[in-house]
Structure formats: structure tokens, C-alpha cells
Structure 1
Amino acid sequence: MVKGISRRYFLSSLLAGVATPVWANPPSSSLRPRLRPESLRQLAAPGPGNLIRASGVTGNVSFSVADVATGLVLEGHQADQGLPPASVTKAVTAMYALDTLGAGHRFTTRVMTAGAVSNGVLKGDLVLAGGGDPTLDTNGLAQLAAQLKKAGIREVSGKFLVWGRALPSIHAIDPSQPDHAGYSPAISGLSLNYNRVHFEWKRGAQGWVVSMDARSDKYRPDVTMAKMRVVKRSMPVYTYENRGGVDHWTVASGALGNGGSRWLPVRQPEIYAGQVFRTLARAHGIVLKKPKLSHSPPTGQVLAEIHSAALKDILRGMLKYSTNITAEMIGLAATQARGTSANTLKASGQEMSRWAAGALNMTNASLVDHSGLGDQSRLRADEMVIALAQSARRSELQPLLKNIKLRDSQGNVKKNPPMKVVAKTGTLNFVSGLAGYLEAHDGTELAFAIFVADTGKRAAIPAQDKERPKGARAWNGKAKKLQQRLIERWDGLYGA
């Protein structure tokens, strides 16, 4: 086949040749079929090599595209090269969780006791027990507190315990990230507000007024397990230290301005949730002692419980907003459900890699976590595309992926693009990925995976510049433009 000509045109040309009559004399004009306007457009489509060179992106580019209806791989470039997938990993995590836990799986958070309740007094300990819900928020804890009051509890004579051992305790998703990176918090089976605490500051006559709270759209309970101190300096912006089970932060006064806010990661997630629940319980007249960690699975009577949304809905949010902690907690839960003991994200990522090799035929997948935040993970575009094209996997995953907005040459969102793209994006400094489905302008459906990475530049980022390294934003912008140019090429080449 001539490179650049669609397979449909190629087949139609063959049929035209079969039907051509035998001429007694040389024809007065060429017998070669005339190209239709669509075919001319296909021949004029820029080659992938030209697009890559024109993009100005450095490093490696790997992609593959396949026809969903037939499974036929239509085009590829270094598709057998393993590159960091970044958050495209979450698409694999979604398939892993759906296959292992099921689309309807729900996570449960409970308030339990082994003691007896008499006249509103609990003669024993009260336990807030996490069930691995990655979406538990302050509103959810408020529901539990209201249920506890409805159960007739007025007083607790014993200890107030918090239990998060439903999942392994992990200090940070990626320890190489800056301490203040809200996308790399601690992990526990009892996690609240994506394990982030809200830091707010306002400048007053006597300096800055700061607060640390667990706010939601309805509540703003203060917490004491995370403390902030403003220090007169310019750099570093933040410092962190764990002292006595408390997250101690300092922030540079030169970076604050007159006011603002941001979410900071929580490193003591069980105590965080316990403090918030204690405050909410007190609002209902229930006095609890300070929360303490429990290392034993809770037993006894369930006094209150709430359930998460169905897994498929949690995954839809995870894929849309690319929440790392959601991916990690769901991946860990799936690994445990498979009967595998994994106390680290790397061990659980390796189990997911083994699953992908068997279930998706991704025999070269090498994943160190479930979110893609770790840059040592590797996926191949050719294997990712085959997995996406599988009918069973496609029917589960495709409805959960987000719509990708296409942009014009000025960077503005196209209002009515001729094709539709649903996919999972992936972005790290000097790493960009995109994998999903393209519905071409004629309805042809394609599966694709594009991985772009300059691992050399990423490895050379100084530790103090990891949050915003020089040149990373421009590089990622070029990579995203290249991804769209490739998608537009495929729409014109194979959607005719």
C-alpha cells in the first residue's frame, strides 16, 4: 500500500482494476482511476515524521492507532518503545478496578463499638473505621455524626479510636515530589478530602492571619494536626516537618501577598479525619476524647455508616480530574481483593502490571503505581492501543473518559470540530501522554495512544525546581499540539 493512502481507497482501487476491460488498442487516456477529492486530501496529509519534526518537541515520540471495528493497526511510530505514561496509567487502573471489584462496588465508612450503650452512654471505645473510600469528605463525616446522634449516643466513656488499616499506610504517593505538593499526599484506608487540608491567609495590621481547616461546601471545621507559621524569608516557599504526630509547616512571607489559599497534603490522615469527626460530633452534643490510632480491625456493633458512590462513578471523576489519591486507593483495594499482599505502591503496581499482561496482553507493562505520578513506569503505545480496542474493555472504559477539547491555531477551543475525542491525558514535567478514542468525521472509530517524553531533561531538573522547572511548560505545550496534529491527520486519513 502506498503510504498515506487509506486502506478503503486502496481496496476500491483494486476492485476498479479487476473490473477494467481488456483494450485491443492502447487507450487514449490513462486507465489509472482518478482520485476523488477525499483521496487527494489523504495524499496531502503530512507524514508523522514531518509533524514530529515541525513540533519542535525534544525526546522520544511513540504512538499507535487502530481501527476499533477490525482491530487493525493502521499506523505507528516507535510504538514498541516503553515510555512514561504519566496519568494515562489511570486508564489501566480503571480497567483493573472494574475487572477486579466490579462497576457497582461501593466503599463503606463506619462508626463502631464493642461496648454496650445504656441510656445514651457508650460504655466502651468508639471507632471511626475507614473502608478505603477515596471520596470521603467532611460532608460525609457530618452524616456519620448525625447518625450517631440518631442512634441515641450522648456520651462515650471510653477512647475515641481511628482505624485506617483497610489499606496500607503510605507517607506520600511519590516521595520525590515537593513536600507541599497537594497531588502527592499520604494514603490510608481512612482518608478525608483527598488527604488535603485547606490553608488560608489574610494580611492584617499586625501581619498575617492564617487558618488550617477541613472545609467543604457546608462546613469549615478547624484542625490542629496541621499547623502553619509565617516566616520572614523569600525562599523556600514552604518547609515541612513532622513533630509529635503533627504536620508543622512554615511559609515564606515574601510569597504570600495580601491574601490567598491553597490545599496542602496531609501526612497524618487518620488523626485528621478523627479531629474533624470529633468537631462535628460535638455540634450534635456528643463529646469525644482526642482521636488515637487503632492498629486492630474494629469489631462489634455498627452505630453509623455511609457508602460511597458506585465505583464506575468514582472512576469517571478520577479520569476527569486525574486525582492521584483516588487512583492509588482504588488500585490498592483491587490488589487486596485479588488476594495479593502489597504494602507499597510499587508492589501493587507490579501486581497490576501482571494483571495487564494476562488480561490485556500488555506483556511489557511496567508500572510502579496506579496514578502515573512515578516516572519510572513504562507503557508501550502498541500494547495500549490493542487493549483499548478490545470490545469488552472499550464498553467499560469509553463511557468514563472525558471529552478532549480541540483547539485552533490561536489556542481557542473549536466550537464544532468535525471529530470527537474521548481520552485520558497524562502530564508530568517533560512527559505528555494521550490515549483513548477518536470518532472521525464520517463515524469511523479509532483507538490511539500517544506518548511523548524527554526523560533526559526530566532527570536533570534540580530538586528545588521540581514544581515549575524552566522550559517544562513550553515543552508540554508543544507535545499537546503535536498530539492534536496527529489526531487531525488520522481523522483525514482514515475517516474517509
Structure 2
Amino acid sequence: MRISRRWMLGALLGSVAAPALPVFADAPATSPRPMRRGGPAPVVREAEELVAEARLGGSIGFVVADAATGEVLEQSDGALPLPPASVAKAVTALYALEALGAEYRYATQILGTGPVVGGVVQGDLVLAGSGDPTLSTDALGDLAARLRAAGVTGITGRYIAHAGALPAVTAIDAEQPDHVGYNPAISGLNLNYNRVYFEWRRAGSDYQVTMDARAERFVPKVSMARMQVVSRDLPVYTYAAAQGSDNWTVASTALGKGGSRWLPVRHPEAYAAEVFQTLAKAQGIELPAAQLVRVRPEGAVLASWESVPLRLILQDMLKFSTNLTAEVVGLTASGAGSLEESAKAMNLWAAARFGIAPEFHDHSGLGGGSRISAADMVTALVRAQSTLTGAELRGLLREVGLRDAKGREQRNAAVRVQAKTGTLNFVSGLAGHARAGEGRDMVFAIFCADPERRDRLTLAEREQPPGGRAWAGRARLLQSRLIERWIAVHG
């Protein structure tokens, strides 16, 4: 089975101002329908009618503005702060591009604390991470090969894994179920988006289970993530942390004949260290069990692996909505010592840069506590256009097709929407640019949220909440209908 980096991603990923509409003059909440020569224009439904028809409950805020001037063309509850979900990643991308630059690369290095004599490092060997969110098992395999090509065959000292480039975070959002792969730990040494591949097959009355760190070319088994099949109905999964290891159990009644899924890794530095040890052994380099450190030892670089440029990392992040990538690039940009402090630093930057007042608590939007108004989101996108990072962001946003009556995404060459989507339980957002042919270029943000309904969910319901899929479908259809209206009325 060949698994590419994009396949893995898809399987997973001024001055401070109070929230205000980005206008320089008052704008009507709705606009008159245009009339064409020779007769009335086709019927264009009012925004209020579209919102009522969606039957979402909770709150809905939207703003659409002229991209060139910032003039608001239409809005409803635009100043109301609402959860952005993964739309927050668009702000994170702007933040990281400005702080780090589009060509920034992460480096994962192998250091030797002493000279290499006869192929043997006279001292410690250090696997030193920089936080690379895209580091894969294949990359570590190539790094091991580079180390062997440099003439290294052994060491006299310790094998050390350094993960102190970023703060250690056990999970992005503590209110998510333990087993969801989109909520992994964060470390200065990440691997495979900090997910491990769990596979099971029935063997008589029992099951054969494996835990591995597969990528496209290498599939090493791991022992730091362990799974036990238990005879029970619920819960489907349980998790317990141990020193440097992840201990899982799974209900036998949930397994069927066989299957697989990605599970989050809570000790990513131990995970990466074990996988590199295995891959180094395949190159003839024997390493002892790793010692994990937060302070980077001094040493000569013996081999190195670099990520692709940040702009490509962000392009994948925006397309596949990988939460780990968003948190890592945000933490790297801020240099803060915790995720909460890093989010605060991004809030301050957004306030100074765009004159808005968001309240992000992370960089991915995974946590339900973050808030931003549609007005502030539009202000940021409009004002960012005058900067190099803003122009870069627009090119990184993916093309979003409008939905048909059955909720299917349709590609329409006549209407181009470049935007970031966002989805949580009973939260749906969409923000970006819309344009029909050579018509007006518009910037918009639409946030739909029912936080009270979200908060009533039990932990067991949060992966697949009752009514959640239908609600999200109606929200996405509303977003498409609003954009169609704006194209017809203002485009």
C-alpha cells in the first residue's frame, strides 16, 4: 500500500479596536435587486429568507465587502464574535508568513558530540528536532541513510532525542475524545502528524493487532504505542499514558473481521526516537534506547533533513486543515512557551496589524473557545491584500465549489471562490474571496454556530454527534446560497 504525504494529510489534516464592521460609511443590511433592461431581473432571494430556511438555530454572522475598497456590501450580525473553527488557520497562515517568511524551512538534524573515529562517534548521537510538522517516516529513513553515507556505523555514548524546540503539549484540545487522530500532541520532534497506524485482523477467536509508523516507503512497527483487545461493548477505546508510551485498549465488539485507523500519539518525541532507531539499525547503525531531553546538546551536524518551504506547508495545511501543522507554525512564529500564550501573541499581532480584536485560544481553531467576528475576519483579509503575505495567502487558499440542492460540491468556472472552510460540531465557517468572471472581487466571511447545542454533547457523542452531519450540510448549503446571492446582487 503506497501512502503519499498528501494521502496521509487527507486521511487525517494599527491599533487595538473593538469588533466593528470594516466600513468607512454605513451600508444596508440587504441590497435592492438589480433590474435589467427590458424586464425584471431573475428572482434573488433575500438573505433573511435563506437563513431561516437553513434551520440552524444558534447564531449566524456574515459580512461581504468589496475587496478593493473594503466597502461593506451586505452584513448580518457581522460584529458578533463566533467560533471560527478551521477558518482560524487563514489568520495563522498570515501570522506565520509574516514572522517566518514564505521560504522558511524546518531542519531535523543528527548531531555528534564528539569526533567520528573509524566510523564511530566518540560521544553521544543526537536526533535534534526543530518542530517540523511534516516530518515523516520516509524522511527519517533518508536521514538514517545520510548518516550511514557520512561514514557513521556506531557510537560510544548515548542516543539522545531533543524535542525542546517547541513546548510539549499533550493534546491540542482537552475536550476531544482520546482516540481522534486530528487532536494529537505537539512537540519539538513530531512524526507522521503525530499519528500511529493501528491495524487489526481476526485470527480465529482472537485478533492480530499491529501498531506501525507507516509512510510510503517504510513501515516500521513501534512498541511505544500498544494496543490490547478487550472483551466489552463500550467504550470503544480507552487510553492511559505511561512513561514515554501510549497504552490503548479497544472493545472487541467494535472490530469486526478487520480494519485500520490512525490514532493520535501523545509522546511524539519517544515515537520519533524509536522509529529512527529502527531505521538506523536497517542501515547497520546500532543505537541504544533513546534518552529524551529538552535542552539541545552542542555537537557537529552529521546529517540533516529539511522540510519543503513554509508556503508549501501552509498550502497543504489550508487544503487538508491539519491541526498539528497550524499549531506548530503558530508556535514557531511566536516563540511562546505554551499554546495559550502563543495564541495570545497572535491576537496581539492581529490587533496591531489589522486593527481587529480576535480571541484565539489556539492556532488551528480546534478548540471551541476561540472567537472572531465576520467583520474582523473580512477586515483582516481586506487589509492583508496590501501586504506580500496577504497576496501569498490568496494563492494558497483552495478553490471551493458551491453546493447544489443535494449538498454536493459543484465546480463552476463562472464563479471562483477561494476560501478556508471550518467545521466543528454545530460550528461551520467559510471565509475568503469570491468573484464571477470579470465582475467585482469580493471578500466575505460567514460563521454559523450553535455553541449551546455543542456544549450539551457528551464526550462519547463528540466524534459523530446526533444530527451533526445534517446540520453541517445545511450550513454549507446556506454559505453557497449566500455567495450566489452576493454574486447576483453585487457582482
Relative to the length of structure 1, the TM-score reads 0.90
Equivalent residue number for residue 62 of structure 1? 61
Q: Which has the larger radius of gyration?
A: 1
Tell me, in whole angstroms, the C-alpha distance in 2 between the residues paired with 1:243 and 1:136. Answer: 24
Tell me, in whole angstroms, the C-alpha distance in 2 between the residues paired with 1:360 and 1:38. Answer: 44
Distance 1:413 1:373, change over 3 A: closer
Tell me, in whole angstroms, the C-alpha distance in 2 between the residues paired with 1:463 and 1:220. Answer: 33
Is 2:454 the partner of 1:455? no
Equivalent residue number for residue 376 of structure 1? 369
Q: How many residues align?
A: 461
Equivalent residue number for residue 289 of structure 2? 290
Preserved contact between residue 245 and residue 270 of structure 2 (Cα < 8 Å) = no
Q: Secondary structure at the match of 1:334?
A: helix
Equivalent residue number for residue 81 of structure 2? 82
Q: Deviations over 1:405-439 (max 9, x none)?
A: 22322334435352111100000000000000101
Distance 1:412 1:141, change over 3 A: same
Amino acid at match of 2:465: P
- The alignment-based identity, stated in percent, is 49
Q: Deviations over 1:114-168 (max 9, x none)?
A: 1121101111110000011110000110111011101111111111110010000
Equivalent residue number for residue 28 of structure 1? none
Is 2:350 the partner of 1:356? yes
Tell me, in whole angstroms, the C-alpha distance in 1 between the residues paired with 2:297 and 2:52. Answer: 60
Q: Deviations over 1:201-244 (max 9, x none)?
A: 01112411000000001010011100000001111010000123
CA apart distance, 1:442:
4.0
Equivalent residue number for residue 177 of structure 1? 176
Amino acid at match of 1:5: P
Equivalent residue number for residue 399 of structure 1? 395
Mean CA deviation greater in 74-83 or 287-296: 287-296
Amino acid at match of 1:36: R
Tell me, in whole angstroms, the C-alpha distance in 1 between the residues paired with 2:286 and 2:317. Answer: 36
Preserved contact between residue 211 and residue 225 of structure 2 (Cα < 8 Å) = yes
Equivalent residue number for residue 5 of structure 1? 32
Equivalent residue number for residue 339 of structure 1? none
Match of 2:485 among 486, 489, 494: 489
Q: Deviations over 1:431-459 (max 9, x none)?
A: 00000010124432110000000011011
Distance 1:121 1:443, change over 3 A: same
Tell me, in whole angstroms, the C-alpha distance in 2 between the residues paired with 1:352 and 1:465. Answer: 31
Tell me, in whole angstroms, the C-alpha distance in 1 between the residues paired with 2:477 and 2:38. Answer: 27
Preserved contact between residue 405 and residue 477 of structure 2 (Cα < 8 Å) = no
Q: Secondary structure at the match of 1:241?
A: strand
Amino acid at match of 2:284: G
Equivalent residue number for residue 37 of structure 2? 36
CA apart distance, 1:333:
0.2
Amino acid at match of 1:344: S
Preserved contact between residue 196 and residue 265 of structure 1 (Cα < 8 Å) = yes
Match of 1:474 among 452, 460, 470: 470
Q: Deviations over 1:345-376 (max 9, x none)?
A: 111111100000011221x2000000001111
Equivalent residue number for residue 129 of structure 1? 128
Preserved contact between residue 404 and residue 423 of structure 1 (Cα < 8 Å) = yes
CA apart distance, 1:57:
1.1
Preserved contact between residue 5 and residue 39 of structure 1 (Cα < 8 Å) = no
Preserved contact between residue 84 and residue 376 of structure 1 (Cα < 8 Å) = yes
Tell me, in whole angstroms, the C-alpha distance in 1 between the residues paired with 2:270 and 2:98. Answer: 33
Amino acid at match of 1:305: S
Tell me, in whole angstroms, the C-alpha distance in 2 between the residues paired with 1:420 and 1:140. Answer: 36
Is 2:389 the partner of 1:385? no
Equivalent residue number for residue 298 of structure 2? 299
Equivalent residue number for residue 274 of structure 2? 275
Preserved contact between residue 105 and residue 309 of structure 2 (Cα < 8 Å) = yes
Tell me, in whole angstroms, the C-alpha distance in 1 between the residues paired with 2:163 and 2:39. Answer: 60
Tell me, in whole angstroms, the C-alpha distance in 1 between the residues paired with 2:349 and 2:342. Answer: 11
Tell me, in whole angstroms, the C-alpha distance in 1 between the residues paired with 2:205 and 2:287. Answer: 35
Amino acid at match of 2:382: A
Preserved contact between residue 398 and residue 418 of structure 2 (Cα < 8 Å) = yes
Tell me, in whole angstroms, the C-alpha distance in 1 between the residues paired with 2:410 and 2:450. Answer: 29
Structure 2 residue ranges without an equivalent (≥5): 1-26
Match of 1:346 among 334, 340, 343: 340
Preserved contact between residue 441 and residue 491 of structure 1 (Cα < 8 Å) = no
Tell me, in whole angstroms, the C-alpha distance in 1 between the residues paired with 2:390 and 2:168. Answer: 33
Relative to the length of structure 2, the TM-score reads 0.91
Preserved contact between residue 221 and residue 279 of structure 1 (Cα < 8 Å) = yes
Equivalent residue number for residue 14 of structure 1? none
Please, what is the CA RMSD of the aligned residues? 1.5
Is 2:155 the partner of 1:162? no
Amino acid at match of 2:286: V
Tell me, in whole angstroms, the C-alpha distance in 2 between the residues paired with 1:227 and 1:38. Answer: 71
